[in-house]
Structure 1
């Protein structure tokens, strides 16, 4: 099976793998632009207004700011890596096997708990917004990654078309 077939191969029970074909879609490119845009937006903030805002924070909050900005940066680098690898596979620059090897090196980490609500509320709103956006994006990518690797829980959904076909096959003795 070649990489194109692997990306578009059906999964268990004949269901079409949305995630595998997703990386070749316009929706993936929208996700890619969103992720890379968030990386750029965060870098600009941390190098600009973020520096000014962090300098004005009380010591305890400034320490939390430093910790959270490092976590944010790490999270975004993991997201960017994942997006770049998926785009490389979709464009034929990397095989699916190479992509799996890369994903074994850089995994999208589990979300780390947020700082205490009282301290979180004292962080600059811009940093909080970037953190929340990155966590939502990370969650979306983790779900896609789980679907692509086949580790996502399969939801049992009634499929009326499959039910009708099964009924017809049973009546026809097929």
Structure 2
């Protein structure tokens, strides 16, 4: 009876992930949301903001700034993952760029006086950006487990399990 091979299987998880349909959908959604936001803020959003009183205008300006900051960070993360997956960056470049991206502090901020006046269109974009942010935080946590092992850090205790699961999904029948 032949013995089963128990040697660890190394899978380039990031390359597979960034080449996946799931990543492509998130990438397209993120870039589309950036474009939609810019179009709204430069067009209908200006008209909407003119209808607000002083408190509403301050809330609009604050929420718009939070939104654009969040989207800039999310777009930077998406572009970085794509570049890493394509092998376009060195490990040093990756390390420098990762430090520039802050995902933790870009969620929903404190409630604002006048936020009850914010236009529905702006609130819809904000809600979708927060949803995208939550998904990217999950992806980032998943990828950071992998990157610590790949960059010479202490591997996660679940790294071997992730490799085994990935191997099952990449095995050819």
User: How high is the TM-score relative to the length of structure 1?
Assistant: 0.71
2:22 — aligned with what?
27
Aligned residues: 141
Correspondent of 2:100 among 100, 105, 113: 105
Question: Once superposed, what is the RMSD of the aligned Cα atoms?
Answer: 2.7
Instruction: Specify which structure has the bigger relative contact order, considering alpha-carbon pairs within 8 angstroms and separated by 6 or more residues.
Output: 2
Is the Cα contact below 8 Å between 2:15 and 2:86 reproduced in 1? Answer: no
**Where does the alignment leave 5 or more consecutive residues of structure 1 unmatched?**
10-16, 156-174
2:44 equivalent to 1:49: yes
For 1:43 and 1:70, locate their aligned partners in 2 and report how far apart those are by CA, in whole Å. 12
User: How high is the TM-score relative to the length of structure 2?
Assistant: 0.71
Instruction: Note the alpha carbon deviations across 1:38-75, whole angstroms, 9 max, x for none.
Output: 00000000000000100111110110000000010000
Correspondent of 2:122 among 127, 134, 137: 127
**Where does the alignment leave 5 or more consecutive residues of structure 2 unmatched?**
1-8, 147-155, 159-173
1:37 — aligned with what?
32
> What secondary structure does 2:99 align onto?
helix
Structure 1 ranges of 4+ moved more than 4 A: none
For 2:92 and 2:23, locate their aligned partners in 1 and report how far apart those are by CA, in whole Å. 20
1:90 Cα deviation from its structure 2 partner: 1.5
For 2:136 and 2:65, locate their aligned partners in 1 and report how far apart those are by CA, in whole Å. 20
2:143 — aligned with what?
148
1:88 Cα deviation from its structure 2 partner: 0.7
Is the Cα contact below 8 Å between 1:38 and 1:134 reproduced in 2? Answer: yes
